[in-house]
A and B are shown apart, each in its own frame.
Chain A
Amino acid sequence: MALTTTSTGSAATAAGPVPHTASPRPPRSRQQTRGLLLIWAFVAPALIVYVTFVLVPVALAAVYSFFNWNGLGALDRFIGVDNYVRALTDPIFLGAMMNNGLIVVLSLLIQGPLAIGIALLLNRPLRGRALIRTLIFVPYVLSEVVAGLAFRLMLPPGGPFDSFLTSLGWAGDKPLWLADPDVAFWTLFAVITWKYLGFAIILMLAGLQGVPEELSEAAAIDGASWWQTQRHITLPLLGPTIRIWAFLSMIGSLQLFDMVFILTGGGPLNATETMATYMVEYGNGRSQIGYGSAVAVVLFVISLAIALLYQRFVLRRDLRGAITRG
């Protein structure tokens, strides 16, 4: 309490006019200095970590991206924007960007409605509901590497998954889940959906807890059906949750790496390449750190642009006063 009172007092003093000094900026009171010091003391640890591990690496990558550098010798072969030109004209990188874009769109169109539907169902009184909720969340808890390896072991030709399909009555040749360039992308998307659907459902369920029951009751009294209630009351009130989930999903899809790297390594024939796997393979794997940095910067700029635009135009209402102004 004492803290609050003091701060308010000092703020009032600072804000008011100070008639007996000639200088345009009033001298800082001791209390104000102390307050600033305190703010810095609390912000500093997070700021130091953020600057060291986020801002500095981003800036370094931006610098490297203008050099032809194998990561070992001196940084002395400046080549301007050549790395960017090379990346943006490389059909494999453009294909990787397409794959990222496709995953963004498919995630929103398929995972979103699926998660909302399942969350609505799980929100109704149901026997064993807690068990089902837990089971749905299990894939998300598994580490990406464990899940990726598990699928890699299950999906080879004639492997456990094919045997399972045979036991269900599919006698003929199965698709080459990971080895056929036309199939592998869809296999990857199915695995990603399996992995992240649980997270979306849990988010939606949490959002549903914030929808007041009184509204549904009032609607029921007015004669609304279950569908009408969901459509006109629950879904609109779930809006903020859906928008936040979509944001997380988009950023996750753009930066997708672990699962792809473990499951397919970007193959076969670059069919499942994402911007991040391309960066590792063509930057790190081929000792072209300068080029890899340029790819990293492209990925960073795309993610940043989408994040800012989304916050500005979609999340604006939800975040009012928190991040955006006005």
Chain B
Amino acid sequence: MNRRAPRRWAAVALTGLTIGALAACSPAGDGGTGGNDGGSGDDVTLTWWHNGTGEPLLGFWEDVAAEFEEANPGVNVEVTAYQNEELQRTLIPNQLRTGSGLDLYQQWGAGELAAQVEAGFVKDISEDVAERAEAMGGVVAPWQVDGATYGLPFNFGISGFWYNTELFEQAGIEGTPETLDELYDAIDALKAAGITPIAVGAGDGWPAAHYWYHFALKSCAPEVLQDAQSSYDFSDPCFLEAGELLNEFVESEPFNDGFLATSAQQGAGSSAGQLATGAAAMELMGHWNPGVMGGILQEETGDENATPPEFLGWFNFPAIDGAQGDPTAALGGGDGFSCTAWSPPECTDLLNYITSVEVQTRFGEIGAGIPVTPGSEAGIADVNLQQVLAGLQESTYVQLWLDTAYGPTVGGAMNEGIVNLFGGQGSPSAIIENMTNAAATL
């Protein structure tokens, strides 16, 4: 009988091991403090997540983290880049729910931020960054909820048409379109020259939706847009008018073949890739586009130092004669960072360092985007980004991307309705209906 005992104990031991192993799988939950590299107990580790998976941003944030570590002995910064959609929709919400492990993270602001604040996941940094927020001015608004600051932007720009100056020349287009009619003329001229006028990544939804946002901005008064942001009331006829203007635009067939399945940023076949490789003449996109195109060219050519194409130009979304909206209004948005509610005080120090004039000036110099902190504009080396900045400074009102402003539920339904219109299966009123129905499920 005794011969069986060892087996039994082996089985019990195995069970114990399994339970132990499972227990070890759960997160350490130490609120990001405590070094895991065998350092002393006083060490602080900051976990920092951002979406800059491509150069120059990837290396830039690593440099910033290293500088901060050097200036603050005992602080470790673990900086990791994740693909944008994964980071925003899956990784950050899941990590926030665990209530530990993450300190500084990418923050797109507005609707999404409000939901995170309501759940108590975000640190109120109003006092720690008061000076910086004051200096930045109005652009901080998307990172504020009920007057309190929950994050700071490091990059803010507006959307407009990126175009290929060589293809415009080839099609005999002089200057850039100032009005919608001139844009239609340019589209016709490009088509006549056998050039695809516009690439749009409707497969991703939002790049197509930006057209409707722009038309809504031209049709609706700023007050109407701002009210809708909190009331989700889209009954003003200007929203319908935006859809009608878009319908007309789509019917002029300016887009690349198969645009419904085109992605925005992945590879040469994406809308950014088509513009970068000269397969299409225009793309309506945010200020990050040169960086995206540079990344695609690096991948496609295998040349690590490939830069955004030389032929690139930028012009603001054209004005529409007789439209009700503010003609100097612009559509834009930015990237920021927030600290989690459980992050150590060093998190706000790091955020202050990231948004310092010195780091922001360098951010402009590498051409990754448009810095926000006043005094750092001088760093913007890229001619096109200078134009975007000029557009931003000229605008009297900057409307945040509507999907960000309305949050993922209403924003997602809105984008879906707009893409349906692009695909010929929607209507201007169906977009409004989609938004209203989604708002009812909030």
Whether chain B is bound by chain A comes out as yes
Contact status A44-B18, CB under 8 Å: yes
Task: List CB contacts (< 8 Å) of B408-423 with chain A.
Answer: 408-409, 412-413, 419-420, 423
Interface segment, one of B88-96, B217-225, B288-296: B88-96
Contact status B4-A179, CB under 8 Å: no
Q: Which of B112, B269, B423 contacts A269 (CB 8 A)?
A: B423
Asked whether any CB of chain B lies closer than 8 Å to the CB of A38, the reply is yes
The chain B residue with its CB closest to the CB of A72 is B119
Count contacts on B: residues with CB < 8 A to the other chain.
Answer: 47
Asked whether any CB of chain B lies closer than 8 Å to the CB of A291, the reply is yes
Contact status A157-B15, CB under 8 Å: no
Q: How far is the CB of A102 from chain B (nearest CB, A)?
A: 19
Interface segment, one of A131-139, A213-221, A279-287: A279-287
Contact status B11-A42, CB under 8 Å: yes
The chain A residue with its CB closest to the CB of B269 is A156
Q: Which of B4, B11, B18, B425 contacts A3 (CB 8 A)?
A: B4
Task: List CB contacts (< 8 Å) of A136-195 with chain B.
Answer: 153, 156-159, 176, 178-181, 184
Q: Which of A38, A156, A284 contacts B258 (CB 8 A)?
A: A156
- Number of residue pairs A-B, CB distance < 8 angstroms: 116
List the B side residues contacting A72 at CB < 8 Å: 93, 96-97, 115-116, 118-119, 121
Contact status A287-B258, CB under 8 Å: no
The chain A residue with its CB closest to the CB of B256 is A157
The 10 closest A-B pairs by CB, nearest first: A179-B258, A41-B11, A268-B260, A179-B261, A72-B119, A157-B257, A73-B119, A178-B261, A286-B412, A45-B18
Asked whether any CB of chain B lies closer than 8 Å to the CB of A57, the reply is no
Asked whether any CB of chain B lies closer than 8 Å to the CB of A232, the reply is no
Count contacts on A: residues with CB < 8 A to the other chain.
Answer: 44
Chain B positions near chain A (C-beta within 8 angstroms): 1, 3-4, 7-8, 11-12, 14-15, 18-19, 22, 89-90, 93, 96-97, 112, 115-116, 118-121, 202-203, 256-262, 267, 269, 407-409, 412-413, 419-420, 423, 425, 438, 441-442
Query: How many angstroms from the CA of A288 to the CA of B440 in the assembled complex?
Result: 13
Contact status B93-A288, CB under 8 Å: no
Task: List CB contacts (< 8 Å) of A19-58 with chain B.
Answer: 34, 37-38, 41-42, 44-45, 48-49, 52
Q: How far is the CB of B219 from chain A (nearest CB, A)?
A: 25
What 0/1 pattern do residues 250 to 276 of A give for CB contact below 8 A with B? 000000000000001101110000000
Contact status A287-B260, CB under 8 Å: no
Contact status B261-A184, CB under 8 Å: yes
List the A side residues contacting B89 at CB < 8 Å: 284-285
Q: How far is the CB of A103 from chain B (nearest CB, A)?
A: 19
Query: How many angstroms from the CA of A183 to the CA of B19 in the assembled complex?
Result: 50
Q: How far is the CB of A112 from chain B (nearest CB, A)?
A: 30
Contact status B258-A176, CB under 8 Å: yes
Contact status B267-A153, CB under 8 Å: yes
> What are 12 A-B residue pairs whose CB atoms fall within 8 Å in the complex?
A41-B15, A45-B14, A49-B22, A72-B97, A73-B115, A156-B269, A179-B257, A179-B259, A284-B89, A285-B89, A286-B413, A287-B112
List the A side residues contacting B115 at CB < 8 Å: 70, 72-73, 287
The chain A residue with its CB closest to the CB of B420 is A269
Q: Which of A3, A37, A159 contacts B269 (CB 8 A)?
A: A159
Query: How many angstroms from the CA of A2 to the CA of B15 in the assembled complex?
Result: 24
Which residue among A37, A74, A156, A184 has the maximum number of chain B CB atoms within 10 Å of its CB?
Answer: A156
Query: How many angstroms from the CA of A288 to the CA of B412 in the assembled complex?
Result: 11
Asked whether any CB of chain B lies closer than 8 Å to the CB of A212, the reply is no
Which residue among A49, A74, A286 has the maximum number of chain B CB atoms within 10 Å of its CB?
Answer: A286
Asked whether any CB of chain B lies closer than 8 Å to the CB of A86, the reply is yes
